[in-house]
């Protein structure tokens, strides 16, 4: 058995070694079997709920190599719809909801037995014109938000592990973003969306999700204070999503301490957090050296989550450079040819 396992491990490693421009460093891994086990398997073995990825339907429908990887639950235990559940697609006209695209993603996760993170109720971008260009009174906007979140979350009732109910409500300095929702209601659209989501699916964990909160700073403090305040007012809130769109060579130096802060807050007020949209952009040319730096950066971020029990899982914002939204940054863990990069080993090491 042992010999067979070792041979299998070798066979799986071999194509990677040949394809990689970098000398494989799997000798330094905790055992090459963990590389073979897969990212979700390693995450779960280390006490997390999942390792997951965002995806769009055309990627797994049209690309069987991609499809086989995303279907492999040893790699991915959780799926986020990259675009399919955003407002412009789900309610293109007032009160006219369409879930066909979202349902395709839901069906993939359901068939594979993968968790789903719903994505998202309220975000100031990718809005249909009727909202983006409209002017609304306070009550009209509260009704619009409640109806959208309630209907969207209700459609997927019982099927979502969690929902990003609010995305990017804060400016970089920590103040509220003056978007179309805020301009009509002030910050009141936030509790309205969360309450409507809870009423529509009492079992889904409700998250506030944002970027630029990976290290300590004013925005990080502001989101922690916002969540603390919502919680103290009895507003349903279960988690904070740390997007983690990051750049090689520019990780916040206090990222690990910051994750500890989130863990302490979570333990104190009873919320969890997660890495929800991770990728690691490379600036400049891709060399063997920079791919090793990218691997180390992935390891650092995953390890920061690993170290804190309140961090429940890690999602990458697609797993391959072939489809990642960063088209020139080689930010993902599989390359354009759907081969594992050194970054893959960084994730394994982080867990």
Ligand X SMILES: *[C@@H]1O[C@H](CO)[C@@H](O)[C@H](O)[C@H]1NC(C)=O
Question: Shortest approach of ligand X to residue 133 CB, angstroms?
Answer: 4
Contact yes or no for 103/89 (Cβ under 8 A): no
299 classed as catalytic: no
71 interacts with ligand X by CB under 6 A: yes
Give 89 or 351: the residue with its C-beta nearer to ligand X.
Answer: 89
DSSP letters for 145-160: HHHHHHHHHHHTTTT-
Task: Give the footprint of ligand X on residues 130-169 (CB under 6 A).
Answer: 132-133, 164, 167-168
**Among residues 67, 134, 154, 215, which is the contact residue for ligand X, using CB under 6 A?**
67
Give 234 or 284: the residue with its C-beta nearer to ligand X.
Answer: 284
168 classed as catalytic: yes
Task: Give the footprint of ligand X on residues 76-95 (CB under 6 A).
Answer: 92-93
Distance between CA atoms of residues 316 and 275, nearest Å: 8
Q: Output the CA–CA distances (angstroms, integers) from residue 230 to 206, 269, 315, in the order listed.
A: 12, 11, 25
Question: Shortest approach of ligand X to residue 157 CB, angstroms?
Answer: 19
Task: Give the footprint of ligand X on residues 213-252 (CB under 6 A).
Answer: 218
Selecting among 91, 214, 277, 299, the annotated active-site residue is 277
Give 82 or 200: the residue with its C-beta nearer to ligand X.
Answer: 82
* Beta strands, E only, the chain: 50-55, 78-81, 115-123, 162-167, 205-210, 239-242, 245-247, 272-281, 311-316
Question: Shortest approach of ligand X to residue 30 CB, angstroms?
Answer: 29
Contact yes or no for 190/166 (Cβ under 8 A): yes
Give 103 or 303: the residue with its C-beta nearer to ligand X.
Answer: 103
Using only C-alpha atoms, the chain has a radius of gyration, in whole angstroms, of 20
Stretch that binds ligand X, among 143-151, 174-182, 193-201, 267-275 (CB under 6 A): 174-182
Give 36 or 180: the residue with its C-beta nearer to ligand X.
Answer: 180
The CB-based long-range contact list for 105-112 (8 Å cut-off, 24+ gap) reads 105/55, 105/57, 105/79, 105/81, 106/81, 106/156, 106/159, 108/55, 108/57, 108/60, 108/70, 108/71, 108/79, 109/78, 109/79, 110/159, 112/71, 112/73, 112/79
**Among residues 111, 158, 232, 233, which is the contact residue for ligand X, using CB under 6 A?**
111
State the residues that interact with ligand X by CB under 6 A.
Answer: 64, 67-68, 71, 92-93, 96, 98, 108, 111-112, 119-120, 123, 129, 132-133, 164, 167-168, 173, 178-180, 183, 209, 211, 218, 284-285
Q: Which residues are designated catalytic? A: 168, 277
């Amino acid at each position: 058995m042992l010999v067979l396992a070792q041979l299998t491990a070798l066979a799986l490693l071999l194509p990677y070694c040949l394809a990689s421009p970098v000398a494989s460093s799997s000798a330094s891994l905790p055992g090459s079997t963990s590389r073979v086990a897969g990212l979700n398997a390693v995450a779960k073995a280390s006490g997390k709920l999942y390792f997951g990825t965002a995806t769009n339907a055309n990627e797994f429908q049209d690309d069987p190599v991609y499809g086989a990887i995303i279907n492999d639950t040893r790699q991915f235990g959780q799926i986020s719809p990259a675009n399919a559940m955003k407002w412009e697609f789900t309610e293109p006209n007032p009160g006219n909801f369409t879930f066909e695209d979202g349902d395709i993603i839901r069906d993939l996760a359901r068939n594979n037995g993968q968790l789903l993170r719903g994505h998202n109720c309220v975000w100031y971008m990718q809005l249909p014109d009727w909202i983006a260009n409209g002017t609304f009174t306070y009550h009209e906007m509260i009704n619009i938000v409640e109806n959208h979140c309630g209907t969207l979350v209700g459609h997927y009732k019982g099927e979502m592990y969690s929902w990003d109910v609010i995305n990017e409500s804060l400016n970089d300095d920590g103040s509220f973003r003056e978007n179309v929702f805020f301009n009509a209601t002030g910050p009141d659209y936030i509790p309205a969306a969360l309450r409507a989501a809870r009423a529509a699916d009492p079992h889904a964990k409700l998250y506030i999700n944002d970027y630029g909160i990976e290290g300590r700073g004013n925005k990080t403090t502001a989101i922690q204070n916002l969540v603390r305040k919502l919680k103290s007012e009895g507003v349903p809130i279960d988690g904070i999503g740390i997007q983690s769109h990051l750049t090689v060579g520019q990780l916040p130096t206090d990222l690990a301490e910051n994750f500890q802060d989130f863990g302490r807050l979570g333990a104190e007020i009873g919320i969890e957090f997660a890495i929800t949209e991770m990728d690691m952009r490379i600036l400049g040319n891709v060399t063997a050296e920079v791919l090793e730096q990218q691997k180390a950066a992935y390891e650092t971020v995953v390890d920061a989550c690993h170290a804190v029990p309140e961090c429940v899982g890690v999602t990458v914002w697609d797993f391959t450079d072939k489809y990642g939204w960063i088209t020139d940054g080689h930010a993902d863990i599989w390359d354009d040819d759907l081969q594992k990069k050194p970054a893959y080993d960084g994730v394994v090491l982080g867990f």
